[in-house]
Structure 1
């Protein structure tokens, strides 16, 4: 086989592989649950947002499928980026713990409410918008502009029923169907 033919075949295989990954990614995305994602409601003080959060609910997605006892921890790095450590348990409560580590950068320095997060290096980043949060940073609602993903976070693993209901009411006020969310079982 001639070298140019081999290169053409290899290039074709690479293009097909990239195309396949793209199609798989598109086919496995969750449906849109909010066609009119709002802009973040208020600025975020990063120093107050950092730390550990417990996931109360989420719009189910392929990278968290079946996880419970999900937490997210954020810390400021020396270079100004934010470390992100997400973890959760498969086959809760006794299953194995899965951990994913990534980095984030602030994408909107005027409010700090929009971040770009990457768990797979610089080639793939996802939007992370803090759509709203408690004034005391006891809860947070996180989404992104496509309306396909949503996370409801709390500083407490199991907040009071009144607090959880108030947060879910805010989810609805932001245009999301709270009944489309999967409740995350915690400790």
Structure 2
């Protein structure tokens, strides 16, 4: 999921690095937050689309601990028309503290972008993720399908936070994705 945040970070060079990892105005990151419960595989249910993720389905993000205390990020997506898998591996570190769902994420060099968990259910089954501004939004789930009422509630929550939810894209996570599913290291 965060593979495209590397591209966000590239755009931040010109505008000043401080803006790349910020929290969108009027939003808050979840607290309390427990990293060990968040680790593992997440499926992308919806996103605000960008050219670097356009056309990708079967999108997953997997998180695991790094030896340096950070988080290893593995993002995968598939262009189903071409049958090609795209994968990016990055690293993430807490911005505030380990009790707050805010990270800086990098896929290249010293450049980071914000990864802000603005909603997370108590069971760590679905989440609403914002980038550094309202141009970046993802709905994630632990399963490839998210119950319609939960998906709608997250969409309404995002709309209430000022995100353009009428522009959300819902990638295919169905049977076409089965050949591309694999475990993440």
TM-score using structure 2 length? 0.76
Determine which of 131, 136, 143 is the counterpart of 1:149: 136
Report the equivalent of 2:49.
Answer: 60
Count of aligned residue pairs for this structure pair = 158
Mark the runs of 5 or more structure 2 residues left unpaired by the alignment.
1-9, 16-23, 175-185
- Are the structure 2 counterparts of residues 102 and 22 from structure 1 closer, same or farther at C-alpha, using a change threshold of 3 Å? closer
Are 1:86 and 2:81 counterparts? no
Residue of structure 2 in register with 1:132 after alignment: 119
Give the superposed CA RMSD. Answer: 2.5
Deviation string 1:30-70 (CA, Å, 9 cap, x unpaired) is xxxxx744121433210111110000111111321211110
Question: Runs (4+) of structure 1 moved beyond 3 Å?
Answer: none
Q: Could you report, residue by residue, the CA deviation over 1:62-103 in whole angstroms, capped at 9, with x for unpaired residues? A: 3212111100000011210100000001135x7111101000
TM-score norm. by structure 1 comes to 0.76
Match of 1:13 in 2: none
Please say which structure displays the higher CA radius of gyration. 1
Equivalent residue, structure 2, for 1:120: 108
Residues 66 and 72 in structure 2, CA contact (< 8 A), matched pair in contact too: yes
Matched residue of 1:84: which SS? strand
1:76 aligned onto 2:68: no
Q: Given the alignment, which residue of 88, 92, 95 partners 1:100?
A: 88
Question: 5+ unaligned residues in a row in structure 1: which ranges?
Answer: 1-20, 27-34
Q: 1:148 to 1:22 in 2, by over 3 A?
A: closer
